[in-house]
Amino acid sequence: MLNIALFGPPGAGKGTQSEFLLEQYNLFYISTGDLLRKEMSEKSKLGLEAQSTIASGGLVSDEVIVQIIEKTITENPDSNGFLFDGFPRTYIQAYILEGLMIKLNTSLNCLISLEVDEEVSVSRLLNRGKTSGRTDDNELVIRNRLKEYKDKTLPVLKFYKDRGIFFEVKGDQPIEEVNRDIQKVIKEELNKSLYNIVLFGYPGSGRGSQGLALAKKYELEYVSTGQMLDYEIKTKSKIGKRIFDLYENGELVPDEIVVQLIEKKIENSKGVKGFIFKGFPRTLVQSYILDGLLKKHGSSISRVIEIEVPTLELINRLDARSKTDRCMPYDTSISKIVKRLQEHEKKTVPVIEKYMQMHGLTKVDGVGCFEEVFQRLSDEIVKDIK
Ligand code: AMP
């Protein structure tokens, strides 16, 4: 998700720049001013409550703002990201935004402030007032809106400066140049954020080979818990012996072991573009751990993909694999294979359901040759990183 807040005094050009950005980044637009005007035109309870404040150029209460903004965000959890215009306007609203972003397991990427002189704002708004039909575009109210901006809204900048996501753009340049400067900020921010995929699928669905190939193509770090555990087995470490016994019984490895390995992997992967997690998380507990680990690194899950393959085909594939040198300790007999598939059903399917609600789930048909499935997966990823 890409979440941006456009900041600046009334008349800075936030509305105009928003139109460009919505098209350029396919975001969902949230202008608290527009939402309030809609509530007023519908004569709703919130609209009536806000009316006199807006007419005088004051700021509407944070209680009213939280209601309209929460409703809009939670109704659109699947959007590519949000563009906020005119929000947050108070320190409290900055906290509200942070809380709402956490609820969606995402964060604000940047707050871009359009810098213009007060007199430029006034003359632009007076000019807009000739055609906008907005009763608050008259000099007396404009002066009050600017005073509110200085008194209550400007202090919000500190909140974002402290978090290192505040950027200034000169707002008195020609429109195209302002847009160019904003895009530059966004591009730099996008380059900084990690792209993380969680790849689900039953054992035998091709998650491993596809995950590896995707990681190579898109320069992501491939994180396979199975591979890390196998390494422990092969090197006959102390944990390796324990893992081997668990595998023999078709059971899952305890979370403490897996978490230690994953944490080490993330911490050692400095400067990567993102991660592909395969075979993790496998339990609800692990799903909370992954969310927490990524949050700790200022990141979150970007996309969840499940490769779908019918059960009979899975059994055939695993049985065929057991007769090759890629045989795993857990697929040496049909009964072990079935046990493992059942274990997946019991423990991992609830995780997929949780992730589906939190991040949306992309199902990809895993039947067909390697290249066909790889193409289907690539088509999904390209949508995010184009
Ligand atoms: P705008 O269209 O953003 O200029 O907003 C018009 C008016 O709506 C402002 O002068 C405020 O009275 C009210 N308003 C819009 N957004 C907010 C907000 N986030 N907090 C408080 N009041 C707001």
CATH number at residue 166: 3.40.50.300
| Ligand 1 pocket member 86 (CB < 6 A) | yes
Give the residues of the chain that fall short of pLDDT 50: none
Instruction: Identify whether residues 108 and 138 lie together within a single domain.
Output: yes
Q: What is the Å distance from ligand 1's center to 149 Cα? A: 10
Both 92 and 159 in a single domain? yes
Based on the fold, state whether residues 139 and 249 are members of the same structural domain: no
The answer to whether residue 103 sits within a structural domain is yes
Q: Atom 1 in ligand 1: which residue has the minimum CA distance? A: 33
- Alpha carbon of 32 to ligand 1 centroid (Å): 6
Pocket test for ligand 1, best of 16, 17, 53, 59 (most atoms within 8 A of CB): 59
Q: So what's the pLDDT on residue 239?
A: 85
Q: What is the pLDDT of residue 271?
A: 74
In a domain, 161, yes or no: yes
Is residue 101 domain-shared with residue 222, that is, in the same domain?
A: no
Q: Say yes or no: 340 and 376 in one domain.
A: yes
Any atom of ligand 1 within 6 Å of the Cβ of 59 = yes
| Residue 115 shares a structural domain with residue 138 | yes
Does 294 reside within a domain? yes
Is the pTM here over 0.75, yes or no? no
CA of 89 to the centre of ligand 1 (A): 8
Residue 168's domain spans which residues? 2-27+79-192
Residue 361, class by beta-carbon neighbours within 10 Å (0-12 exposed, 13-18 middle, 19+ buried)?
A: middle
| CA of residue 114 to ligand 1 center, whole Å | 16
Is residue 51 assigned to a domain?
no
Condensed to tens digits (0 to 9), the pLDDT of residues 160-212 reads 999 889 999 999 999 999 999 999 999 888 777 789 999 999 999 999 999 99
Last residue of a domain, one of 175, 192, 209: 192
CA 54 to centroid of ligand 1, rounded, Å: 7
98 with 144, same domain: the answer is yes
Same domain, 162 and 279: no
Task: Point out the ligand 1 atom lying closest to the alpha carbon of residue 53.
Answer: 12
Atom nearest to 58 CA in ligand 1: 12
Domain count, the chain: 2
Q: Whose CA is nearest to atom 10 of ligand 1?
A: 57
Tell me, using a 6 A CB cutoff, whether residue 1 lines ligand 1: no
What pLDDT does 56 receive?
A: 94
Residue 188: inside a domain: yes
Q: What is the pLDDT of residue 359?
A: 83
pLDDT at 386: 58
Based on the fold, state whether residues 124 and 273 are members of the same structural domain.
Answer: no
Last-in-domain residue among 192, 213, 236: 192
Q: Are residues 110 and 241 in the same domain?
A: no
Q: What does the pLDDT read at residue 190?
A: 79
Are residues 284 and 344 part of one domain?
yes
Say whether both 217 and 352 belong to one domain: yes
Question: Using CA positions, which residue lies closest to atom 3 of ligand 1?
Answer: 33
Residue 43 belongs to some domain of the structure: no
* 150 occurs within a structural domain: yes
